[in-house]
Amino acid sequence: MPLIAELRRRNVFRVAAAYLVVGWLLTEVLTTILPTLGAPNWAARAVILTFAFGFIPAVVLSWVFELTPDGIKREHEVDRNDSVTNKTGRKLDYVTISGVVLAVVFFGFFSARTADDEPPVVIASSASVAVLPFVNMSDDKDNEYFSDGLTETLLHMLAQVPDLKVAARTSSFAFKDQNRSIQDIAQALGVAHVLEGSVQRVGDRVRITAQLIRAADGFHVWSSSYDRTLDDIFGIQDEIAEKVGTSLSTSLLGAPTSEMFAGVTTTNSDAYDLYLQALKERATFSYGGLQAAERLLKGALTIDPDFMDAKSELAVNYIHQVETGLMDEQSTYPEIIAIADQVLAVRPDEVVAHAVRIFADAMIRANAGELNAFNEIETELEEIVASAPGVLYPRVLLVRAYKSANKFDEALVVLEDALERDPFNSTIHYELGTLHMNRRDWDAAQASLEKSLEIEPTQPNAYISLAGIALHRGDAVGYVQYTLKAIEVDPSDHELHGFMAGFLYQLGLVEEGDDFRNRVMAIAPTSEVAYRLNMLRAISLGDTDASIAAARQAVEDDIENRRFAFGGAVQHLLRAATRSGTYEQEAAFLDEHAPGILDVYEESLPPKIKNSQFAALEAWYVALPRDELLSRLDKLLEFAVANGFKKERQPNTNMRILALRGEVQEAIKVGLSEVFVGSVAERLNWRETYFQPYFAEVVADPQVQAALKRWEDEEDALRGQVQTYLADIHAST
């Protein structure tokens, strides 16, 4: 009998086909699934080798043995008349066909998933370039600011080439110190070319190499080296920018550019050196970084008073210092305007100086009582952003204006557009995170803040924002962890220590809170935080006289209302007066030290006084006739709505307003559906807030009683968790 015919009769070919189809299918399935189950890398290789080595034995066994109704027998033991190889062959055909069908389904499913999971391919314009951070080759690693600064200047100069797309600075810098190929970086940034190089600085000499690379094939379009004195750094920058710009313009844009590249506005290398150091210091917007940057910028301006880039940066620095509490608003905003005016007198089209001036002027007018100050600047800032869409800081200020009016959706559009232009910018991700917190989209907020920290890990403000999200979710230990991380990266910020101390005092952990309060008193004893901690500590100890004395001291010293420090003191005094029946005496004290604070009909009050008037409503509920109470409430709500207040975004405030109006059932409904369902971690002062006379009927409701009991139990649990966590840290250190 011919060999081929015998192989067919014994189903050897069918066994081989079935083995290959089923084996391939199982191999594909297992090698796809095993990694997702955490299996080691060798497991997938073992599966492949097992099936490969099993093929020959399977074929041999199909020749030697036959599957019969009585089981497996050697082929020569089976009578040919009793053989069922035909039936077995048909079964093997079914197995093979089924395997093929399953393979097609599997391949189609996972191909679709892979296509969905893979990021879209970015088709880069050929007239595009990214400037990667030049590598610092100097022996002194502290010179890195110099190589980074050179990169920033070149990026700024190339951005002036018409029709040339230049990847944003922060996105380019996201690839610093990463071992990624030029092709990968270009794909991520959506560019066709990459400019890279190195800087070696020794004394007053500097050696710079630069090369322009076409990402598609790695071809060096242009390269050069420079060995000059430091005094010639500006000439080197001009030459590199001109060479790159001309190369790209000639080959990609159709003609050599005739533009003159405007670099930094100084020719003094010492001033430029200080300016670059300042840019590095302010990158994280920390207390220490902002103060160091201010000193360096002033040093640069002392050397070169006409250094306009340093002046613009100083004005921006002052805004950040006001926001972080390092500088007071009243004296700083006029100074910011004066600095911006100097820049605009020389460079009238400078968009950052223009935006800064508009914002500072609006802050001055808002502090003078103008309700629409920020609404009036929205159009101007929108026009600036439209004229220079690639410049970030005007966008940041526009978002500030939108947020002040609770226009969160408009702010989101501005930031999402910025992120599309500059996807690796930590500042944009941070701003998005805080905006999502305003919108109460907590998952999106956390994702944005974590992305921001992934790009720039030493941002104290991002950690504090994450701490706030942890509180919202009832994670008190998470709050402590994030706040401690913020303190670690910015230990000179007394407010961070104050956040921790205040949280611990409200949680009833006085001894633990004292550790952080002592740090505040050591570095900022007259700060608003220090005044507030004195009051919170006394409240936590149950020392009413001491808490009233601390609150009175804050009012007498006319502290700023940062973190509601002034308003909180007023609120505590009036609550104590309500309990003791001494409203008239306390009102006289407040009128003397904070004139106008009890006059809601006076329009031209500073925001500190106007915002603190809301704290008096609880006392007015007891001290004033009902008609007068409601009249004052309506007047204050008119002010709040003009400043963007929306009750649906602030359910706790809405519940309190309803209770003041006497709409008890509505207040209970809002409380049970929107307030008491949350964690007590966000409202550790709930006893002082809700056990006021105007809230008596609300608190008397059985469902509210049950909710408050749940809060009390949760508070006890949180206290124990935090106390244990801090004790463990103390023991380990």
Decide: 71 and 40 in contact? Cβ < 8 Å: no
* Average pLDDT estimate for 251-260: 47
pLDDT at 212: 83
Length of the chain: 733
Residues 129 and 252 occupy one common structural domain = yes
pLDDT at 78: 54
**Cα dihedral across residues 432, 437, 439, 445: positive or negative:** positive
* Average pLDDT estimate for 199-215: 81
Q: What is the pLDDT of residues 434-444, one digit of tens each?
A: 999 999 999 99
* Average pLDDT estimate for 645-655: 86
Q: Which residue has the higher pLDDT, 211 or 722?
A: 722
Q: Given 96, 117, 138, which residue is the final one in a domain?
A: 117
The H or E element containing residue 201 is strand 191-202
pLDDT at 503: 97
- Cα separations (Å) of 400 from 160, 360, 412, 432? 28, 12, 11, 12
Q: Given 209, 238, 256, which residue is the final one in a domain?
A: 256
Evaluate if residue 398 carries a pLDDT over 70.
yes
Q: What is the pLDDT of residues 706-732, one digit of tens each?
A: 999 999 999 999 999 999 999 999 888
Residues 12 and 111 occupy one common structural domain = yes
**Within a domain: 36:** yes
**Within a domain: 224:** yes
Residues 694 and 728 occupy one common structural domain = yes
pLDDT at 15: 60
Alpha helices, DSSP H only, in 473-616?
Answer: 476-489, 494-506, 510-523, 528-541, 544-556, 565-580, 583-593, 607-612
- Banded pLDDT at 343 (limits 50, 70, 90): very high
Decide: 503 and 540 in contact? Cβ < 8 Å: no
Model pTM score: 0.74
CATH number reported for the structural domain that contains residue 208 in this entry: 3.40.50.10610
The structural domain count of the chain equals 3
Using alpha carbons, select from 538, 554, 496, 550 the residue that is nearest to residue 520: 496
pLDDT at 462: 96
- Cα separations (Å) of 298 from 269, 323, 695? 15, 20, 54
Q: Given 256, 274, 307, which residue is the final one in a domain?
A: 256
**Within a domain: 718:** yes
* Average pLDDT estimate for 647-670: 92
Q: Which residue has the higher pLDDT, 347 or 20?
A: 347
Evaluate if residue 603 carries a pLDDT over 50.
yes
Residue 550 CB-half CA count within 13 A: 22
Residues 103 and 13 occupy one common structural domain = yes
- Banded pLDDT at 116 (limits 50, 70, 90): very low
- Banded pLDDT at 259 (limits 50, 70, 90): very low
Q: What is the pLDDT of residues 103-115, one digit of tens each?
A: 555 555 555 444 4
Residues 109 and 77 occupy one common structural domain = yes
**Within a domain: 668:** yes
**Within a domain: 266:** no
Residues 129 and 249 occupy one common structural domain = yes
- Report residue 135 as tokens: 């590598």
- Banded pLDDT at 117 (limits 50, 70, 90): very low
Using alpha carbons, select from 571, 567, 569, 574 the residue that is nearest to residue 588: 574
Residues 88 and 180 occupy one common structural domain = no
- Banded pLDDT at 311 (limits 50, 70, 90): very high
Residues 10 and 111 occupy one common structural domain = yes
Residues 150 and 238 occupy one common structural domain = yes
Residues 110 and 148 occupy one common structural domain = no
φ and ψ at residue 645, rounded to 5 degrees: -65, 130
**Within a domain: 80:** yes
Residues 156 and 249 occupy one common structural domain = yes
Residues 38 and 134 occupy one common structural domain = no
- Banded pLDDT at 256 (limits 50, 70, 90): very low
**Within a domain: 85:** yes
Q: What is the pLDDT of residues 470-528, one digit of tens each?
A: 999 999 999 999 999 999 999 999 999 999 999 999 999 999 999 999 999 999 999 99
pLDDT at 183: 84
- Banded pLDDT at 260 (limits 50, 70, 90): very low
Q: What is the pLDDT of residues 50-102, one digit of tens each?
A: 766 666 776 566 655 565 655 565 655 555 555 555 555 555 555 555 555 55
DSSP code of residue 680 = G
Q: Provide the domain limits for residue 728.
A: 646-733
Longest Cα separation, the chain: 121
Percent of the chain with pLDDT over 90: 50
pLDDT at 136: 82
Q: Which residue has the higher pLDDT, 632 or 189?
A: 632
**Within a domain: 470:** no
Q: Which of 16-30, 141-155, 530-544, 593-607 has the highest mean pLDDT?
A: 530-544
Decide: 340 and 356 in contact? Cβ < 8 Å: yes
